[in-house]
Amino acid sequence: MGLAMLGAVSQGILWGIMVLGVFITYKLLDIADLTVDGSFALGGCVCAVLVVGGVNPIVAVLAAMLAGMVAGAVTGFLHTVFEIPAILAGILTQIGLWSINLRIMGKSNTPLLNFDTIFSQMTDLTGLPSNVAAIIVGVIVAVVIIVGLYWFFGTEIGSACRATGNNEAMVRALGVNTKVTKMIALTLSNGLVGLSGGLICESQKYADIGMGTGAIVIGLAAIVIGEVLWRVLPGAKLHAFGGRLSSAVVGSVVYFLIRAIVLQLGMDANDMKLLSAIIVALALCIPVVWEKFQLKRAYTRSLKDTSTEGASTEGGR
Residues 101-152 pLDDT 10s: 999 999 999 999 999 999 999 999 999 999 999 999 999 999 999 999 999 9
At 167-204, the pLDDT tens digits run 999 999 989 999 999 999 999 999 999 999 999 999 99
Please indicate, yes or no, if residue 180 is contained in any of the structural domains: yes
User: What CATH number did the domain enclosing 116 receive?
Assistant: 1.10.3470
Counting the structural domains of the chain, the total is 1
Is 277:247 a contact under the CB 8 Å cutoff? no
The amino acid sitting at 270 is N
Question: Residue 70 pLDDT > 90, yes or no?
Answer: yes
Q: Which residues 6+ apart lie within 8 Å of 161 measured at CB? A: 28, 29, 153, 181, 184, 185
Please indicate, yes or no, if residue 150 is contained in any of the structural domains: yes
Please indicate, yes or no, if residue 286 is contained in any of the structural domains: yes
Cα–Cα distance for residue pair 243/237, rounded to 1 Å: 7
Please indicate, yes or no, if residue 317 is contained in any of the structural domains: no
* Model confidence band, residue 231 (pLDDT cutoffs 50, 70, 90): confident
Please indicate, yes or no, if residue 316 is contained in any of the structural domains: no
Question: Residue 52 pLDDT > 80, yes or no?
Answer: yes
Is 252:139 a contact under the CB 8 Å cutoff? no
Angle formed by the axes of helices 36-52 and 57-80, to 10°?
150
pTM, full prediction: 0.91
Please indicate, yes or no, if residue 148 is contained in any of the structural domains: yes
Please indicate, yes or no, if residue 153 is contained in any of the structural domains: yes
Is 251:223 a contact under the CB 8 Å cutoff? yes
Q: What is the pLDDT of residue 1?
A: 55
Cα–Cα distance for residue pair 257/249, rounded to 1 Å: 12
Tell me how far CA of residue 15 lies from CA of 189, 203, 301, in angstroms: 13, 11, 44
How many angstroms from the chain centroid is the CA of residue 84?
23
Question: Residue 8 pLDDT > 70, yes or no?
Answer: yes
Q: What is the pLDDT of residue 203?
A: 95
Domain range for residue 305? 2-310
Q: What is the pLDDT of residue 158?
A: 95
Please indicate, yes or no, if residue 144 is contained in any of the structural domains: yes
Q: What is the pLDDT of residue 82?
A: 95
